[in-house]
Structure 1
Amino acid sequence: MIGGAFAADAPATVAVVADAGGEALAVWHVELAPAASGDRLSGAWLTGPGDGAAELARVLAGCAVLQVDAVVPDWAAPALADLPRMDPAATVAELRAVVGRIRDRAAAERARPGRGTLTAPRLPELPDPAPIDFPHVGEPAAAAALGWARGLEALAEAWAEVDSQRRRRDWLRGPRGTDPVPLPLVLH
């Protein structure tokens, strides 16, 4: 039921990377898997030049990156160079296409003989990719990264509800069956 332009082997964590002022970067991890223990926002770092390059490489290892700012400091560029980048707009467009296919499948199922009373899944609206602005009580330099991390968290939660609706209906399960599907990503 998923299909589309999603990366088949997308990482289970997105590292949101944003300017933290001067030469510093802020990084927030967002867990995409619905069965992840604990919060979806699983870690936050402020890094700078010097030892920060090695720390940044360690923090980004195994993650997809949502880079908030177009330009990063020279010291950080090598750590970011070869990592997969999440495309937020394309990801949401693909997710909305999945929701459309689920709605179409529900309509087709209801049209089958004897299935006219079938209850269609209640699917949430998928939010546009955007930072969520709220009062930040931690390090002010991390506010931009946290805002985008919260926006990605809201998208992951909406997707978890869509996937929950898919798993509850045998006619929607497809090859994944009842296994939860983490938020799929379009990467570039």
Structure 2
Amino acid sequence: MTTATTRYLRPIAVVDEPAGNICIWHVDVGPDIGLSRLSGAWVLDPDNAPSIQTLIKDRHVVRCGGTDVVERYDIAITGTVDVDATFTAVLAERDSLQERFDSHAAARRTLVVPSWPDVVHPAETAATVRRSREVAEQTGNAFPLARGFNELARAWTQIEKQRLARPFLVDPAGPATRPLPLALHTND
């Protein structure tokens, strides 16, 4: 497992293959620019190879249900996201920032304690997404898991705001807002 450290990330592609279709959801996990993180959704016929390839090519991919669409369509991707390790990386960074705050605050009494957001595993968020049976059949798990990544990216934005609001937490990562720390499977 590796962690992506790029400042800009193309939206990730969450992919599933329900009911013989290929469902792709794009989720912006880069620094918050004020737009919706759920940035596109497609349910495609498997014969539409050009569109499938275009929507997945050169992106980080979240696979649902063990889909092999990347291999079947011979699509070059930047990596397969390890959902559990990405969640763990976000928690670890939040906890590390809190430890650094505690260490710095030990010598000062006037610091405002960070207000960290709840960090929820994308699969846990996905389990709460309400869908009609028809929508569930058309989108499979791509839509709920995309919602989970949307929420994780929103929590990460709040973590970054807390980090950047305190000069003693800015380094070593620097003053730029970081994208969600995606952990990737090492076999990609």
TM score, norm. by length of structure 2: 0.84
Tell me how far apart the structure 2 counterparts of residues 65 and 54 of structure 1 sit (CA, whole Å).
Answer: 17
Tell me how far apart the structure 1 counterparts of residues 171 and 135 of structure 2 sit (CA, whole Å).
Answer: 44
* Number of positions where the alignment pairs a residue of Structure 1 with one of Structure 2: 180
5+ residue gaps, structure 1, are none
- Work out whether residues 17 and 140 of structure 2, in 8 Å CA contact, stay in contact via their aligned partners in 1: no
> What residue is the counterpart of 1:63 in the other structure?
59
What amino acid maps onto 1:183 in structure 2?
A: L
> What residue is the counterpart of 1:106 in the other structure?
101
1:178 aligns with 2:171: no
Counterpart pick for 2:17 among 19, 34, 37: 19
Residues 177 and 65 of structure 1: CA distance in aligned 2, closer, same or farther (over 3 Å): same
Tell me how far apart the structure 2 counterparts of residues 36 and 79 of structure 1 sit (CA, whole Å).
Answer: 32
- 1:137-165 CA distance string (max 9 Å, x none): 98550252111110110000001000000
5+ residue gaps, structure 2, are none
- 1:28-61 CA distance string (max 9 Å, x none): 00001233452111111112232x2221110012
1:91 aligns with 2:89: no
Root mean square deviation, CA, Å: 2.5
- Work out whether residues 56 and 79 of structure 1, in 8 Å CA contact, stay in contact via their aligned partners in 2: no
Offset of 1:172 from its aligned partner? 0.5
- What is the percent sequence identity of the aligned residues? 29
- 1:112-144 CA distance string (max 9 Å, x none): 2xx123122111121012114123598550252
Bigger proportion of residues as helix = 2
- 1:59-87 CA distance string (max 9 Å, x none): 012310000111346x9623456541011
Tell me how far apart the structure 1 counterparts of residues 183 and 173 of structure 2 sit (CA, whole Å).
Answer: 19
Q: Which runs of structure 1 show a deviation greater than 6 angstroms over 4 or more consecutive aligned residues?
A: none
Tell me how far apart the structure 1 counterparts of residues 13 and 49 of structure 2 sit (CA, whole Å).
Answer: 15
Tell me how far apart the structure 1 counterparts of residues 84 and 149 of structure 2 sit (CA, whole Å).
Answer: 11
> What residue is the counterpart of 1:126 in the other structure?
119
What are the equivalent positions in structure 2 for 1:155-174 lying under 5 Å apart?
A: 155-174=152-171
- Work out whether residues 59 and 77 of structure 2, in 8 Å CA contact, stay in contact via their aligned partners in 1: no
Residues 76 and 36 of structure 1: CA distance in aligned 2, closer, same or farther (over 3 Å): farther
What amino acid maps onto 2:109 in structure 1?
A: G
TM score, norm. by length of structure 1: 0.84
- Work out whether residues 60 and 77 of structure 2, in 8 Å CA contact, stay in contact via their aligned partners in 1: no
What amino acid maps onto 2:64 in structure 1?
A: V
What amino acid maps onto 1:64 in structure 2?
A: H
